[in-house]
Amino acid sequence: MQAYEKFINYALPYWDDTEIEGITDTIRSNWWSRGPKTAAFEERFAKSVGAKYAIAMNSCTAGLHIALMAHGIGEGDEVIVPDITFCASANTVIHAGARPILVDILEETGLIDPAAIEAAITPKTKAIVPVHYSGQACDMEAIERIAKEHNLVIIEDAAHAVYTTYKGTPIGGLGHTASFSFYATKNLATSEGGMLTTDNEEVANKARVLSLHGMSRNAWNRYAKGGSWFYEVEYAGYKYNMTDLQASLGLAQMDKLEKMQAIRDKYAKFYDKVIDGIEGIEHLKTMDYGRHAWHLYGIKIDETKLNINRDKFIEELTALNIGTSVHFIPVHLHPLYRESFGYKQGDFPHAEHYFSQILSIPLYPSMTEGEINYVAEALQFLAAKYAKCCG
Ligand SMILES: *Cc1c(COP(=O)(O)O)cnc(C)c1O
């Protein structure tokens, strides 16, 4: 099989002139930091997910850190985090002064296992951080039941979950505090950026103050006519606010979210159908309880059926000009978590087995039909090339 004519990235942003016009307009407006566009983006985002409050951040990581702090989680507390996630889900627990307690996942979906949450609860447990991995909601009913029974806070890592729903309700609208990511590769991108959503007024107020130096409310507006020069510092806060340059991208992206998601959905269904016909490659299971945002499209290489492992499969795809990524290296295998928290190989067998098989293939709205067809053909070609048996 011939390599594709150019490299197919595993993820790229989707944009047109409206993003450029938004940025240009912001430059001309002289609101180069937080300003009216950030406020408008917050309002529009809150409405779109059905949350009472939305506070724009410079990243999802910042939003997770602030969410934990605003809920009063800190020294001596334990927070449950899935082992298959980006390091930020667990690192932010450390930033807040608490201890991350990693738990195993369900191999069919890569989502946190509610039974593993239940088994990890101690008298010190204060919160659960479910990660809506790949753009599919966790089993929120089960998680909410556990949280209620043990009086725990739920803080959703919604980095992959713009557009995701659970039983008809968008993530962000379930009544918990959530943090979304608008990093360059995410479904809705502002270069860097994030959004904390909550229905809790006290959490919202505290989060807003903490994200801007701990200065009293509305200090961002102090240089405008009608704004006040006076402010008071209530906490040793952070510099985590979004800027209007980022918000202008966010507003332009929100206008095309439905269109972008329709393409992701079409391409994901095409991949599903092709992969169902390939021996030795599996796709993740789609749950029927919600809308999948298809942030990632994960496939598993089954070494019992193919004479190739995941690492070598990635090399073969790279040689064909197809970009891939791995989501994720289990958190407990990183040196920090081994050395500081005593985790070791073998601690989470499902996460480790999942990690040995998984890779993410290209899926994004700016992919052409030619590119998506080529990736599908490459999977068929490699599965035939490395087939263990002839049937
Ligand atoms: C991308 C990502 C984050 C971090 O998002 P940033 O906006 O880059 O801080 C957190 N959690 C998960 C699961 C992610 O994929």
Domain containing residue 313: CATH number: 3.90.1150.10
Q: Is 102 helix (H, G, I), strand (E, B) or coil?
A: strand
Q: Is it the case that residue 221 has pLDDT exceeding 80? A: no
User: Are 97 and 54 contained in the same domain?
Assistant: yes
Q: Is it the case that residue 391 has pLDDT exceeding 60? A: no
pLDDT band at 223 (very low <50, low <70, confident <90, very high): confident
User: Are 240 and 273 contained in the same domain?
Assistant: no
For the CA of 327, the closest atom of ligand 1 is 15
User: Are 51 and 94 contained in the same domain?
Assistant: yes
Mutate to test the pocket of ligand 1, among 60, 111, 112 (most ligand atoms within 8 A of CB): 60
- Name the residue at shortest CA distance from atom 2 of ligand 1: 159
Q: Is it the case that residue 109 has pLDDT exceeding 70? A: yes
| Across 277-284, average pLDDT | 98
User: Are 275 and 239 contained in the same domain?
Assistant: no
C-alpha of residue 341 to centroid of ligand 1, in Å: 22
Which has more confidence, 198 or 219? Answer: 198
Cα atoms in the 13 Å half-sphere on the side-chain side of 147? 20
In a domain, 1, yes or no: no
User: Are 242 and 263 contained in the same domain?
Assistant: no
φ/ψ (deg, to 5) at 99? -110, 125
| Across 179-192, average pLDDT | 98
For the CA of 193, the closest atom of ligand 1 is 7
| Across 242-262, average pLDDT | 98
Q: Check if the beta carbon of residue 337 is closer than 8 Å to that of residue 83.
A: no
Q: What is the pLDDT of residues 49-71, one digit of tens each?
A: 999 999 999 999 999 999 999 99
In a domain, 361, yes or no: yes
In a domain, 3, yes or no: no
CATH code for the domain of 141 = 3.40.640.10
Q: Check if the beta carbon of residue 271 is closer than 8 Å to that of residue 62.
A: no
Of 295, 303, 309, which is closest to residue 362 (Cα–Cα)? 295
| Across 165-194, average pLDDT | 98
Q: What is the pLDDT of residues 11-27, one digit of tens each?
A: 999 999 999 999 999 99
Please give the Cα distance from 163 to 369 (Å, whole number): 23
pLDDT band at 216 (very low <50, low <70, confident <90, very high): confident
User: Are 367 and 312 contained in the same domain?
Assistant: yes
C-alpha of residue 377 to centroid of ligand 1, in Å: 31
Report the share of the chain in percent with pLDDT over 70.
Answer: 99
Q: Is it the case that residue 222 has pLDDT exceeding 90? A: no
Question: Quick one: tokens of 101?
Answer: 């307690």
In a domain, 9, yes or no: no
In a domain, 338, yes or no: yes
pLDDT band at 105 (very low <50, low <70, confident <90, very high): very high
Q: What is the pLDDT of residues 331-343, one digit of tens each?
A: 999 999 999 999 9
For the CA of 131, the closest atom of ligand 1 is 13
C-alpha of residue 10 to centroid of ligand 1, in Å: 16
360 pocket-lining for ligand 1 (C-beta < 6 Å)? no
pLDDT band at 5 (very low <50, low <70, confident <90, very high): very high
Tokens 């006290």 belong to: 202
| Across 83-93, average pLDDT | 98
Mean pLDDT score of the chain, rounded to an integer?
Answer: 97
Q: Is it the case that residue 153 has pLDDT exceeding 80? A: yes
Domain around 344: 257-385
What pLDDT is recorded for position 111?
98
pLDDT band at 228 (very low <50, low <70, confident <90, very high): confident
User: Are 241 and 271 contained in the same domain?
Assistant: no
- Residues belonging to the active site: 186
In a domain, 42, yes or no: yes
**Interacting residues of 258 by C-beta distance below 8 A, sequence separation 6+:** none
Q: What is the pLDDT of residues 338-365, one digit of tens each?
A: 999 999 999 999 999 999 999 999 999 9
For the CA of 181, the closest atom of ligand 1 is 7
C-alpha of residue 29 to centroid of ligand 1, in Å: 30
In a domain, 10, yes or no: no
| Across 192-207, average pLDDT | 97
User: Are 36 and 123 contained in the same domain?
Assistant: yes
Please give the Cα distance from 165 to 161 (Å, whole number): 8
User: Are 211 and 290 contained in the same domain?
Assistant: no
Region for residue 191 given its phi and psi (left: phi exceeds 0; alpha: psi -120 to 50; beta: otherwise): left
User: Are 154 and 292 contained in the same domain?
Assistant: no
Q: How many domains does the chain have?
A: 2
Last residue of some domain: 255, 285, 302?
Answer: 255
56 pocket-lining for ligand 1 (C-beta < 6 Å)? no
Q: CB count, 10 Å around CB of 3? A: 13
pLDDT band at 390 (very low <50, low <70, confident <90, very high): low
C-alpha of residue 252 to centroid of ligand 1, in Å: 21
In a domain, 8, yes or no: no
Please give the Cα distance from 183 to 63 (Å, whole number): 13
Report the share of the chain in percent with pLDDT over 90.
Answer: 95
C-alpha of residue 135 to centroid of ligand 1, in Å: 12
61 pocket-lining for ligand 1 (C-beta < 6 Å)? yes
Last residue of some domain: 223, 255, 287?
Answer: 255
User: Are 163 and 267 contained in the same domain?
Assistant: no
Last residue of some domain: 233, 255, 277?
Answer: 255
For the CA of 192, the closest atom of ligand 1 is 7
User: Are 42 and 188 contained in the same domain?
Assistant: yes
100 pocket-lining for ligand 1 (C-beta < 6 Å)? no
